[in-house]
């Protein structure tokens, strides 16, 4: 099957490209570093010729509601319009477990993305996953000032990006289903705990201070909602500590 991975150079995107190729699929990566700008449309139509399924793992990292909504709305609409022109038969969007009711900050963009996909004429599946183990690396990099990291207080059930990638390829190669079972990790974790263990594991001296974010966003992070509810779910198996030593940790 010819599959396009939008965001194929990103944290999870690189795993999706690898997982799809290992299963023998013909893979096209769509990212600016591959010469394709999904928002402006540069080289987008020509990249989708013959594509049967698109997996959208695009991202813009921001805590600003307007920027997040602006990016995910523009990118998703541009991608869906191009897919309709190209006759793509399945759009798969990666979203985040437990964000209903947290319609602010970064998550407002993800909910706007989900609404566009759900209302699209392109056959689709929204696949939600919990935070990646790799999220600890992303947050540590963004929040470290010298030896101190100011980390948002967060309770989650993280999963390896490699397992998310395998799940997304399963979803993309099955018929469009509207919504896939949530993918959750094997154990509850706090972000501060993960970053402390990662720093010790890597021999990095870092004092991790967890800070409760204000407002609905902060409540969402600490409430446990991001761990997932009682609905249909699939469970990843690699724990965070196993992931720290795993060959698929891309550093
Ligand atoms: N991080 C988590 O824990 C987590 C958990 C669940 C779900 N998710 C979801 O997973 C998705 C991917 O997250 P990630 O952390 O893997 O992202 P990431 O590492 O920030 O990668 C983002 C990707 O998007 C591409 N991109 C950005 N703007 C683009 C544009 N205008 N045109 C084409 N490509 C563009 C980037 O490539 P270029 O810069 O080369 O363009 C890159 O390949 C997000 O939608 C996120 O919400 C994340």
Domains contained in the chain, CATH given: 2-244 (3.40.50.720)
**Ligand 1 proximity of 132 Cβ (cutoff 6 Å):** yes
**Ligand 1 proximity of 220 Cβ (cutoff 6 Å):** no
Give the pLDDT confidence score for residue 251 in this predicted structure.
Answer: 56
Q: Which residues of the chain have pLDDT under 50?
A: none
Q: What are phi and psi of 177, to 5 degrees?
A: -125, 5
**Ligand 1 proximity of 135 Cβ (cutoff 6 Å):** yes
CB 204: neighbour CB atoms within 10 A?
13
Q: If 0-12 CB within 10 Å is exposed, 13-18 middle and 19+ buried, where does residue 103 land?
A: middle
Residues 6+ apart with CB under 8 A from 152: 139, 143, 191, 210, 211, 212, 213, 218, 221
Residue whose CA lies nearest to ligand 1 atom number 20 = 59
Give the pLDDT confidence score for residue 232 in this predicted structure.
Answer: 82
Gap between the Cα atoms of 65 and 190, Å rounded: 24
Gap between the Cα atoms of 172 and 183, Å rounded: 15
CB 211: neighbour CB atoms within 10 A?
13
Q: What residues are paired with 27 via a beta bridge? A: 3
Instruction: Spell out the alpha helix ranges (H) of 122-210.
Output: 134-143, 161-173, 191-202
Residues 6+ apart with CB under 8 A from 117: 76, 80, 91, 93, 124, 126
With the most atoms of ligand 1 within 8 angstroms of its CB, the residue from 31, 54, 98, 135 to mutate is 31
**Ligand 1 proximity of 76 Cβ (cutoff 6 Å):** no
Residue whose CA lies nearest to ligand 1 atom number 15 = 11
Q: Are 71 and 37 in contact (CB under 8 A)?
A: no
**Ligand 1 proximity of 31 Cβ (cutoff 6 Å):** yes
Give the pLDDT confidence score for residue 113 in this predicted structure.
Answer: 98
pTM of the model: 0.97
Give the pLDDT confidence score for residue 239 in this predicted structure.
Answer: 98
Give the pLDDT confidence score for residue 233 in this predicted structure.
Answer: 93
């Amino acid at each position: 099957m010819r599959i396009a991975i939008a965001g194929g150079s990103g944290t999870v995107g690189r795993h999706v490209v690898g997982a799809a190729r290992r299963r023998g699929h013909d893979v096209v990566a769509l990212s600016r570093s591959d010469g394709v700008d999904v928002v402006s449309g540069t080289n987008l139509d020509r990249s989708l010729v013959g594509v049967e399924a698109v997996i959208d793992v695009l991202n813009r990292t921001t805590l600003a509601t307007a920027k997040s909504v602006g990016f995910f709305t523009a990118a998703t609409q541009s991608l869906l319009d191009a897919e309709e022109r190209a006759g793509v038969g399945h759009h798969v969007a990666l979203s985040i477990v437990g964000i209903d009711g947290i319609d602010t900050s970064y998550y407002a963009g993800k909910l706007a993305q989900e609404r566009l996909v759900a209302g699209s004429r392109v056959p689709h599946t929204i696949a939600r996953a919990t935070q990646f183990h790799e999220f600890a690396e992303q947050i540590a990099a963004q929040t470290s000032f010298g030896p101190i990291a100011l980390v948002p207080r967060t309770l989650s059930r993280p999963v390896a990006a490699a397992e998310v990638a395998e799940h997304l390829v399963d979803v993309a190669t099955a018929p469009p289903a509207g919504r896939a079972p949530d993918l959750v990790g094997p154990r509850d974790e706090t972000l501060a705990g993960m970053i402390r263990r990662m720093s010790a594991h890597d021999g990095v001296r870092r004092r991790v201070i967890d800070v409760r974010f204000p407002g609905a966003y902060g409540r969402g992070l600490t409430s446990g909602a991001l761990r997932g509810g009682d609905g249909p779910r699939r469970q990843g198996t690699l724990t965070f500590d196993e992931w720290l030593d795993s060959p698929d940790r891309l550093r």
